[in-house]
Structure 1
């Protein structure tokens, strides 16, 4: 779906039926949404209007709005995500609609100190009851989640395979073959997972608890999806607002904070899959970065006068650096690999 410009301040105020002065002068821009802070009514909560610009999942505007609204509603009982207060319908003035949610008063995570808080926030989501299959729609609920993730990887890699250096192509092919070998007869026990849990998508409140902001494309799958996406090297370095870094003890501590907070039966179902999903989510992110590099004049992006463009190019260029790929792979292959019991005791 094509990126759509955000409506003007006056247009959005008219749609909301409020005085224009209650909206911020300009939105906080994001890759998928523009975020308009909204002054609360007397005594009411601070709010944010999320205005989508595209669908990560390739959905129509109406279907994407329904999907995102359901995502917020289903995650809300966890206390780890903003509450949904209202929907703005898709229409000529608002081509992708909008959502009114809590505005979270918090700061970006500081690594590694805030990683345990992220783990506990995810545990709140993963501990929610799981609906019977017929009631999981419209959220994705793949019967073969490993096969689904591998198909996403292939769809990103196949069109640009011939543009890759031989060493990178061999490395990715080897990782895909190893990932495919993990496909078994038994589906990993599904829970509600948020699926885009890099640290930059969280805010840390004054009490030290973490809130996941961008709840737009969850899926019923193993919580190992979120654990990997929150702590892989590609995620820890993705958002420039997130400071610091994380070593092996910090990544172990993040997983153990999650395992302590989640119901024990949930942790037991995740343990056998935690390393396989680390590989799968790394493949998903890395092949996406490879596709970006194949479609982009990387040198021009690195030299851009727009700081946000140059910064993103620097980060993505690191993702496709063979040395960084090898460093990531050492987390699940070779003598220094994590063990499942080390992460989820």
Structure 2
């Protein structure tokens, strides 16, 4: 939680920036990347970075996050960006002021259809020419870029708290997938994706629309990565306020909703559904291994920039929850559960496509 002095500094700075008296209310600490502060009576939230998941300095990180909101705005499923508050000594990471969405957590399998429709709307947005995609990531080879991320994180699987069977299984799956996935992704065109589509990042409005409220990692890559991130066990049980498990039938139905909502856009990506699902899962579990190592390091100097997963950045209750999730996801019973699901999905999707 922000300290009393940090909260006072934030209120003073925002009053000066907005030229009005403010009452602010810090929301519960639910994420490892941001604090959220309600600006009472304005309809706005301040999103205050704790760090940069993109490994950027404070100013570049704000520019990246602002671009995420701006690039996705036309889909109708993201909050409006009001303004950027650039870093200062009092607010070293700066902040984004965004529309506060009235809604409830996406905490039920019944919300998956709305989430898939929201993702389809994002994926359907026009893709700019390559030279106009910056600052958002747009790798020449999105698959190789994703494999590179996972391979880098896989180095953390040697952490002593990870069992040898888990370590061996995950490394084996990554090696095997690296050899087989290129064929499934051959010729796929990148679209705008969220790269952070777990249900905890959505709110469901009173009309039933899903709104993605955390936008900081958008990039141009393959939509099935989002479909996986929205429906994997390692995603649907991640958030403390949006935790549920999907049955196999519910996973398949979610994919079918996306196929219907995406229309003609969907067809080229069908063959990549299962291999890209496994790749997204491997990204998630290798990130868990990374967090075990990086989270015990001291907090970086204020506004230093870059990634900083230190436990000192977040409330103890949040850290306890994250640790429980990490331990679960890296345990062999959970790994076996996900692999069994992948095998079933492969049989279900492969014959028809």
Query: Scaled by the length of structure 2, what TM-score is found?
Result: 0.86
Matched, 1:114 2:111: yes
Alignment of 1:56-205 (within 5 A): 56-161=53-158, 163=160, 164-181=162-179, 182-184=181-183, 186-205=186-205
Q: List aligned pairs for 1:238-257, cutoff 5 A.
A: 238-257=238-257
Name the CA distance, whole Å, in 1 between partners of 2:164 and 2:27: 43
Which protein, 1 or 2, shows the higher relative CO under an 8 Å CA cutoff with sep ≥ 6? 2
Shift of 1:160: 4.4
Which stretch shifts more, 181-190 or 245-254?
181-190
TM-score w.r.t. the length of structure 1 is 0.87
CA distance change for structure 1 residues 4 and 189 in 2, over 3 Å: closer, same or farther? farther
Q: Secondary structure at the match of 1:255?
A: helix
Provide the secondary structure at the position in 2 that maps to 1:87: strand
Equivalent residue number for residue 11 of structure 1: 12
Offset at residue 287 of structure 1 (A)? 0.9
Q: What is the RMSD computed on CA atoms of the aligned residues?
A: 2.5
**Equivalence for 1:268:** 267
SS in 2 for 1:37: strand
Partner Cα distance (2:316, 2:295) in 1 = 15
Relative to structure 1, is the Cα distance of residues 227 and 336 closer, same or farther in structure 2, using a 3 angstrom cutoff? Answer: closer
Deviation per CA, 1:127-174: give whole Å up to 9, x if none.
111111111111001122222122212222214426343312221122
Verify the 8 A CA contact 2:157 2:167 in the aligned structure 1.
no
What's the secondary structure of 1:158's corresponding residue?
helix
Task: Show CA shifts across 1:28-66 (max 9, x none).
Answer: 43321111112345xxxx211111121001011111111
Residue segments in structure 1 that go unaligned for 5+ positions in a row: none
Whole-Å separation in 2 of the counterparts to 1:328 and 1:68 = 32
SS at 1:92's partner residue?
Answer: coil
Q: 1:189 to 1:61 in 2, by over 3 A?
A: same
Specify whether residues 191 and 271 from structure 1 end up closer, same or farther in structure 2 by C-alpha distance, changes over 3 A only.
Answer: same
How far apart, in 2, do the equivalents of 1:267 and 1:291 lie? 33
Cα drift, residue 295 of structure 1: 5.6
Distance 1:196 1:150 in 2: 17
Taking the aligned partners of 1:130 and 1:78, their CA distance within structure 2 comes to 13
| Structure 2, unpaired ranges of 5+ | 297-310
Find the counterpart in structure 1 of residue 46 from structure 2.
49
